[in-house]
Amino acid sequence: MVHKRIVLHFPHRLVDQPIVYRLTKDYDLQFNILKAYVTPQEEGLMVLELSGKKENFQQGIEYLQSVGVKIQPLSQDIIRNETKCTDCGVCVPICPSGALVMDSHTRKVHFYDNKCIACELCVKICPSRAMEVHF
């Protein structure tokens, strides 16, 4: 079994196509939409949690690429700029996935990027703008 979170970029022409649905129907993959929106440039952006058998997963990804969807792994999307972060902790209650955690001993904030669902809530609320989006 593979269990991965990925970011899909849909070009404008594919935004209204039932592409994700085919992942379940044709490739027996299960998905969870963590985030979806259409950018001002009318590109569709979707953060998916995708799981299924390894070979199905691979084929599903190939299918997406073949129709023109760009795919990237999630973990590299949100990065904390360590020199900017002051460890204040105001992001901790904002993060919906528990990826930002205050260490009760050191009083420093840990960023567990494997838990991050790239909702980007922290990106704008961090006063030091230490949470950065890297596409």
Partner 1 sequence: MRTIKEINEKIKKGQVVAVTAEEIIELVKKKGLKRVASEVDVVTTGTFGPMCSSGVYFNIGHTKPRIKLGGGAVKINDVPCYAGFAAADIYIGATALPDEDPRNKVYPGEFKYGGAHVIQEIVAGKDVRLEASAYGTDCYPRKKLETLLNIKDLNEAVLFNMRNCYQNYNVAVNLSDKIIYTYMGVLKPHMGNANYCSAGQLSPLLKDPYYKTIGIGTKIFLGGGIGFVAWHGTQHNPGVKRKENGIPCLPAGTLAVIGDLKQMKPEWLTGVSMLGYGVTLSVGIGVPIPILNEEILGYVAAGDDQIYTQVVDYSHNYPQGIAGSLGEVSYAQLKSGKITLQGRDVPTGNLSSYSKARSIAEQLKEWINKGDFLLTEPVAALPAYDSGYTFRLLTERPLGQ
Instruction: Say whether 80 sits in a helix, a strand or coil.
Output: strand
Q: Which of residues 53-92 bind ligand SF4 (CB under 6 A)?
A: 78, 80, 85-91
Q: Count Cα neighbours of 119 within 13 Å in the Cβ-side half-sphere.
A: 16
| Nearer Cβ to ligand SF4 (9/53) | 9
Instruction: Say whether 118 sits in a helix, a strand or coil.
Output: coil
Which of 102, 69, 111, 41 has the alpha carbon at shortest distance from 50? 69
Are 78 and 116 in contact, with CB atoms under 8 Å apart?
yes
Helix H or strand E segment including 61: helix 54-67
24 strand-pairing partners: none
99 binds, among ligand SF4, partner 1, none (CB under 5 to 8 A by kind): ligand SF4
Could you tell me the smallest distance in angstroms from the CB atom of residue 127 to ligand SF4?
6
| Nearer Cβ to ligand SF4 (42/103) | 103
97 binds, among ligand SF4, partner 1, none (CB under 5 to 8 A by kind): ligand SF4
Cα–Cα distance, 72 to 103 (Å, whole number): 30
Residues in contact with partner 1 by the rule CB under 8 A: 86-94, 102, 104, 106-108, 124-125, 127-129
Could you tell me the smallest distance in angstroms from the CB atom of residue 87 to ligand SF4?
5
Q: Residues interacting with ligand SF4, by CB under 6 A?
A: 78, 80, 85-91, 94-97, 99-100, 109, 116-122, 126, 128, 130-131
